[in-house]
C-alpha cells in the first residue's frame, strides 16, 4: 500500500478486510482490523453508521457478467483512516489502498446500496453473495442484463420520485391492429405518501368486436372503478393527456408486462384507433440515479425473469401474480391487467436486493446444478405455485412407477438391485 491520489470509486470488501490491514505496520493494522470486524462495523456506535439508516451502509456492485461484489465507497475508507488518526489509534493517517484495488463506475454495470444491522447478517450475506456468484458462472448475458435492470428499478422506485404508470391494451383476437380497450394504473408520491389512480377505457366504435375464442372476454369486469366508453377521438386524446400530464410532474416510468405488442399499439400509425403517442424520446436505458425528467420503459416480465433467474423467457402476468402471491381476477381486462402489472412491479421494486429477496421468497429453491449455458440461480417452482389447476399435492410424493395397462402391473422405480420388482395394481 502507498499514498495515491484520491479517486472516487469503490473498494471490494475482501480487499479492505483481508489485504489492506496486512500491508500496514502492526501498530496500524490492529486498530484497523478491529474497526472493520463484522460485529464492530455493524454496531450502532460505529463511525460509519448513520442513525437514519437501518444498518451500516455497503454497496453492491454488479459486474458485466452479472456477478456482484460487496463494496465500501472510497469516501467511507477515507473517513475510516481520518477517524482512526483523529481518535489517536494511529500515529498518522494510514495510506489508502493501491489504486489498482479501486473499482470505478466504468468497471461496474450498476451500483446499489444495502444495509446490515448486525454481524450475523453481514456474514450470511457474504456467503450468499459468494454462492450466487458461483451459480452465475456460465449463465447467459440476458440474465446479467435483467439483474442489472432489476437493481436500477429498485433504486429508482425507492427514491420515491417521478410517476410509475402501468398500461395495457387489449386488441381484437381476430385482428390485432384493432384496439378495443386501454387500461392504466399510476403511482406517484406526494410528501412521501403514495397517490394512485386506475382507469379503464373502451373504444365505442369497437364495442361489437368481442374476444372469447382464444382470449377471455372480460371487458365488462373492471374491478377498480367504472369503465369509460369513448369515441376513437376521445379515446386517443385521453391517452395522450394521461402521458403528457404525468410528464409535467417529472420523470415517467411507463410499465408494461411484455412490452412488445402494447408498445407497438401506442406508436404504430396502422393501429385502429391510431394513437401515435409522443414517445419518440422514450428509452429502455434506465438511469443510475433519479432524473429530473424523461420517459423510461420498464417491463415487469423482465423484472420477474431477473428475480427467478431466467435470462430469456417471459412468464404470463397470471403466473407472475400467482407466484408473487397477488390475487388477480378477470385478467385480459385492460384496466385490471394494468393494475396487477403495477402491483407486481411494486412487490419486486420495493423489496430487498434481488438475491436477498429471492431467498426470502423461495428459500433453498435455487438449483445446485444446471445444464451448460443455463443459470444455477433459476428458482425451482412447484407446479401448484405456477398453475392454479395443478393439485396442491403434486410434487409431495414421487411417482410410484410406470403402469402397464395390459398386465395391470406397476413397474416400481427402485434401486438397481430391485429393478425387476413389480406389484399388481388393484382393479
DSSP per residue, 373-427: TS-TT-B---HHHH-TTS-TTTTTS---EEEETTTTEEEE---GGGTT-EEEPP-
Question: What does the pLDDT read at residue 94?
Answer: 93
Task: Work out the pLDDT band at 245, boundaries 50, 70, 90.
Answer: very high
CA distance 403 to 166: 49
Architecture in CATH for domain 160-361: 2-Layer Sandwich (3.30)
Q: Which of 58-72, 272-286, 376-390 bottoms out in mean pLDDT, i.e. has the lowest?
A: 376-390
pLDDT at 138: 62
Please report, for the chain, the start and end positions of each structural domain, with discontinuous segments joined by +.
10-137, 160-361, 397-427
pLDDT band with cut points at 50, 70 and 90 for residue 139: low
Range 400-404 average pLDDT? 41
- Report the mean per-residue pLDDT for the chain: 84
pLDDT of residue 115: 86
373: left (phi over 0), alpha (psi -120 to 50) or beta: left
> Taking a C-beta distance cutoff of 8 angstroms, is the pair 381, 366 a contact?
no
**pLDDT (mean) for 15-19:** 91
300: enclosing H helix or E strand: helix 300-308
Q: Tell whether the model's pLDDT for residue 206 goes beyond 60.
A: yes
Say if residue 170's pLDDT is above 90: yes
Q: What is the pLDDT of residue 418?
A: 37
423: pLDDT strictly greater than 50 = no
The per-residue pLDDT for range 39-77, each reduced to its tens digit, is 999 999 999 998 888 888 998 888 877 788 899 999 999
What tens digit of pLDDT does each residue of 297-331 get? Answer: 999 999 999 999 888 889 999 999 999 999 999 99
In terms of average pLDDT, the best of 122-126, 392-396, 404-408 is: 122-126
Q: Which residue has the higher pLDDT, 85 or 128?
A: 85
CA dist., res. 363 & res. 23, Å (int): 39
Give the number of C-alpha atoms closer than 13 A to the C-alpha of residue 227, restricted to the C-beta side: 20
* Non-local CB neighbours of 67 within 8 Å, separated by 6+ positions: 132, 133, 136
The three cell numbers locating residue 16:
479492505
3-class SS string, 36-72: HCHHHHCCCCCCCCCCCCCCEEEEEEECCCCCEEEEE
Span 134-140, average pLDDT: 68
Q: What is the pTM of this model?
A: 0.73
pLDDT band at 384 (very low <50, low <70, confident <90, very high): low
Amino acid at each position: 500500500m502507498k499514498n495515491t491520489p484520491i479517486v472516487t470509486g469503490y473498494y471490494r470488501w475482501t480487499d479492505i478486510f483481508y489485504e489492506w490491514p496486512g500491508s500496514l505496520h502492526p501498530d496500524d493494522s490492529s486498530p484497523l482490523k478491529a474497526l472493520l470486524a463484522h460485529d464492530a462495523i455493524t454496531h450502532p456506535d460505529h463511525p460509519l453508521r448513520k442513525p437514519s439508516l437501518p444498518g451500516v451502509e455497503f454497496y453492491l456492485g454488479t459486474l458485466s457478467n452479472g456477478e456482484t461484489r460487496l463494496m465500501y465507497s472510497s469516501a467511507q475508507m477515507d473517513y475510516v483512516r481520518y477517524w482512526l488518526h483523529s481518535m489517536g489509534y494511529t500515529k498518522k493517517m494510514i495510506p489508502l489502498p493501491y489504486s489498482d484495488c479501486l473499482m470505478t463506475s466504468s468497471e461496474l454495470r450498476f451500483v446499489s446500496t444495502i444495509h446490515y444491522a448486525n454481524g450475523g447478517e453481514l456474514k450470511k450475506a457474504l456467503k450468499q453473495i459468494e454462492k450466487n456468484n458461483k451459480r452465475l458462472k456460465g449463465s447467459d448475458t440476458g440474465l446479467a442484463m435483467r439483474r442489472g435492470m432489476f437493481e436500477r428499478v429498485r433504486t429508482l422506485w425507492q427514491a420515491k420520485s417521478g410517476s410509475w404508470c402501468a398500461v395495457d391494451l387489449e386488441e381484437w383476437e381476430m385482428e390485432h391492429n384493432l384496439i378495443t380497450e386501454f387500461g392504466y394504473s399510476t403511482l406517484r408520491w406526494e410528501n412521501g405518501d403514495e397517490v394512485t389512480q386506475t382507469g379503464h377505457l373502451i373504444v365505442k366504435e369497437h364495442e361489437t368486436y368481442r374476444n372469447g375464442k382464444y382470449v377471455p372476454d372480460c371487458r365488462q369486469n373492471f374491478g377498480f372503478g367504472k369503465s369509460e366508453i369513448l369515441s376513437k377521438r376521445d379515446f386517443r386524446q385521453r391517452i395522450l393527456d394521461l402521458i403528457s400530464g404525468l410528464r409535467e410532474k417529472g420523470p415517467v416510468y411507463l410499465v408494461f408486462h411484455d412490452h412488445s405488442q402494447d408498445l407497438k399499439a401506442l406508436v404504430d400509425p396502422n393501429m385502429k384507433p391510431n394513437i401515435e403517442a409522443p414517445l419518440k424520446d422514450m428509452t429502455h436505458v434506465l438511469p443510475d440515479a433519479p432524473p429530473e425528467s424523461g420517459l423510461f420503459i420498464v417491463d415487469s416480465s423482465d423484472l420477474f425473469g431477473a428475480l427467478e433467474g431466467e435470462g430469456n423467457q417471459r412468464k404470463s402476468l397470471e403466473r407472475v401474480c400467482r407466484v408473487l402471491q397477488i390475487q388477480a381476477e378477470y385478467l385480459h381486462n385492460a384496466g385490471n391487467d394494468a393494475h396487477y402489472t403495477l402491483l407486481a412491479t411494486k412487490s419486486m421494486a420495493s423489496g430487498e436486493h434481488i438475491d436477498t429477496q429471492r431467498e426470502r421468497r423461495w428459500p433453498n429453491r435455487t438449483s445446485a446444478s444446471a445444464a451448460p449455458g443455463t443459470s444455477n440461480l433459476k428458482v425451482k417452482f412447484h407446479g401448484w405455485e405456477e398453475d392454479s389447476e395443478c393439485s396442491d399435492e403434486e410434487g409431495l410424493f414421487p411417482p410410484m412407477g410406470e403402469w402397464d395397462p395390459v398386465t395391470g402391473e406397476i413397474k416400481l422405480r427402485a434401486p438397481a438391485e430391485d429393478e425387476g420388482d413389480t406389484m399388481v395394481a388393484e382393479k
